[in-house]
Amino acid sequence: MKSIRLLAFACAASAHVPYSQYVLTPKSRTLRPASVYSINGTVQDAQSLVGGNANAVFVGQSAVTYDFGKNVGGLVSFNVSEVTTSGAYIGISFTESSIWINPEGCDATADAGIDAALWWQVSSGSSYTAQKQFQRGGFRYLNVYHNTTGNVTLSDLTVYYTAIPHYSEEQLAQGIQTGYFHCEDEQINRIWYAGAYTNELCTIDPTTGNSLIYLGVVNSSSVVTTPLPWYSNTTISNGSAVLVDGAKRDRLVWPGDILISQPGIFVSSYDMEMLRDSLDSLLVLQNASGALPYAGRPFGNETYLRQNWNTFKSALNFSLSFIDDSGMANVTTPADWLRFGMGGHNIEANAILYFVLNLGTNLANLLGDASMFVQSWPALAEGIKSAANNQLWDPKLNLYRDNDTQPLTDLHPQDGNAWAIISNLTLNSERARNISEALQARWGPYGAPAPEAGETVSPFVSGFELQAHYRAGRPAAAVNLTKLMWGFMLDDPRMTNSTFIEGYSTNGDLHYAPYANDPRISHAHGWATGPTSTLTFYGAGLQVTSAAGKTWLIEPQLGGLSNIEAGFQTNLGSFSTQTTALQGGGLNVTFSTPRNTSGTLRLTYSGTLASLTVTNLEAGSSMTSQKMAKRQMQSDEAGTKVVTLSDLPGGNYTVVLRTVD
């Protein structure tokens, strides 16, 4: 408990950030319904349970659906002051989407059927609270049923909010977020904060993980006629909190999901101890072959990296054992993100392997590991890149094919093409641009398709597509896809207006091709929160390039927006940027980075550079274009003009770049 309190104060001290009006995190753990959604039968004063603790009278068989206004998670409680007929029952059920509100029970966590309601036999003058294993991690709608004759008078219907369990009530009251984002587009602002909130709902008490009771027992082909019991009481990691894939389900640590949710948490609440406990729960699973369920970016901490370096190397050794004489890895295990056809010389797997080899080389340099094994990595990476560009590139569509299995497939996956850009496996930057354009040309009315998973729109893989558009120098495509998909996921009335869904169909149905049971789909999935980190890292252009931001890159890309602000904190201090498009052409960038750090400013522009002024507000110095000539490098990459200033010491800067057409 003591260490939790200490952490609590360390975070609380730094929690004053602007734009807190967008934050969805509750200010208190005790939640009450926001409104009455519907009433079935006769319930007097149903409204009195909204925001207060007056009485509602359930007259005979009746029910009320309450709306919390946003997705929440926790343990339900209520008081019963009067029961007119003995043997009365009150039931409670939960749904994330309004379309699964049901007189029989909840939405689903299993492959078939729906989850049972919780039932209590009630008597006058008593209080009821769900047992710990019946905490429901995600729901916006809560149904209260009375299924007996006579009247039941109920009050004080509350939910004890159980997400982010390692923050104190005081911290919630003050605000737990250490990062912020703002631009002139209100929908994009709400998307950023909904992503942050989704990841919070996915941060749970590690003793309340999925119990997986129906795995392999109830599947979509089983006929399930009665609602199924459910509970969450498996311990899935050490520590006081853990990051799982989804709030309702699976409530398990999945490595792929963390690739999106971890950077989202980094930019919004910097909850790094929790992330370390989550990663550790994967690292301890490494088996003798080196196979590991994780590979990712080390945002935090060189000590931690050093401790786990051998684990990383033996995992990479395992992956490299799949490279054959084609130069590419031949994938023989189908498990991925539930996409189909995951085998052979698959472009996604090879792009990720290429990425990890280059990342590994950088990390080895950082740690001073010059072993033979490490030295073999650049050539292996080059081999993957050249084979993928020779064997998998389809010049007719400007996309990579899924694999080179004969006869050649017509499937050009979203995952592999996005990852080819992210990993810089593309032959050149022109090819990256072409892929970005080809991916955009496929967008439908509800978003970017992932044909490798059927008729699916994947908010997970589309999170990588957002990064790809930014990296290809097409930020407007990233901004437009953010609004098209995440705007839909936020504002469609079937959604929660607060958290992001796991997957849906290209026709906008809330059906996810890998599942037969639609009520099972999670509406709060960390892997769907891509915009939160991409808007900060690429839109605001605020990136850390080594542990905790000892070095940084400032590279804003407005993408059609006229103003973007963002900030976050690490244990080195505060980082922030504010970028405004100048009338007449150019950018005004102010940024702040901590003392004892250093970094690079990189600005892309069109037209002709008219002037560049860099003011370091502490040093009181102002440099004009000529004086900076020595530190400045201008280049022209595929028609994009770039100014780069490197080796800038941490500090407060204003940079004004003016252009003329």
* C-alpha atoms less than 13 angstroms from C-alpha of 543 in its C-beta half-sphere: 18
Residues 269, 403, 414, 456: which binds ligand NAG (CB under 6 A)?
A: 403
DSSP state of 628: T
Torsion of CA 548, 549, 551, 553, to 10 degrees: 140
Provide the token pair at 546: 């080594």
Per CB under 6 A, which region of 1-9, 164-172, 258-266, 400-408 contacts ligand NAG?
Answer: 400-408
Closest CA to 138 of 232, 21, 279, 255: 232
CA 255 to centroid of chain Cα atoms: 12
DSSP element (H, E) containing 183: strand 180-183
Closest CA to 200 of 72, 67, 108: 72
**264 vs 473 by CB, closer to ligand NAG:** 473
Q: Is the peptide bond before 250 cis (omega within 30 degrees of 0)?
A: yes
311 counts as binding ligand NAG under rule CB under 6 A: no
Those residues whose C-beta lies under 8 Å from the C-beta of residue 581, and which sit 6 or more positions away, are: 558, 561, 562, 563, 587
CB contact at 8 A, 516 and 497: no
Question: Which residue's structure tokens are 């925001």?
Answer: 51
Residues 93, 95, 151, 456: which binds ligand NAG (CB under 6 A)?
A: 151
344 counts as binding ligand NAG under rule CB under 6 A: yes
Per CB under 6 A, which region of 106-114, 157-165, 362-370, 403-411 contacts ligand NAG?
Answer: 403-411
CA 132 to centroid of chain Cα atoms: 26
Residues 148, 155, 203, 604: which binds ligand NAG (CB under 6 A)?
A: 148
String of contacts with ligand NAG for each residue 115-144, x by CB under 6 A: ----x-------------x-----------
40 counts as binding ligand NAG under rule CB under 6 A: yes
**70 vs 505 by CB, closer to ligand NAG:** 70
**79 vs 301 by CB, closer to ligand NAG:** 301
Instruction: Identify the three-state secondary structure at position 577.
Output: strand
Closest CA to 263 of 597, 566, 559: 566
Residue 53 φ then ψ, to 5°: -125, 30
330 counts as binding ligand NAG under rule CB under 6 A: yes
314 counts as binding ligand NAG under rule CB under 6 A: no
* Beta bridge pairs of residue 136: 74
Q: How far is the CB of 614 from ligand NAG (least distance, A)?
A: 12
84 counts as binding ligand NAG under rule CB under 6 A: yes
**113 vs 372 by CB, closer to ligand NAG:** 113
Tell me how far apart the alpha carbons of residues 658 and 609 are, in angstroms, rounded to a whole number.
6
659 counts as binding ligand NAG under rule CB under 6 A: no
Tell me how far apart the alpha carbons of residues 328 and 133 are, in angstroms, rounded to a whole number.
46
Q: How far is the CB of 121 from ligand NAG (least distance, A)?
A: 8
Q: How far is the CB of 389 from ligand NAG (least distance, A)?
A: 10
String of contacts with ligand NAG for each residue 198-227, x by CB under 6 A: -------------x----------------
Interacting residues toward ligand NAG by CB under 6 A: 40-41, 44, 57, 59, 61, 63, 84, 89, 103, 119, 133, 147-148, 150-151, 190, 211, 231, 233, 272, 276, 300-301, 303-304, 307, 324, 330, 332, 341, 343-345, 402-403, 405, 409, 411, 424, 452, 474, 476-477, 480, 497, 560, 571, 578, 588, 590, 592, 594-595, 618, 650-652, 654, 656
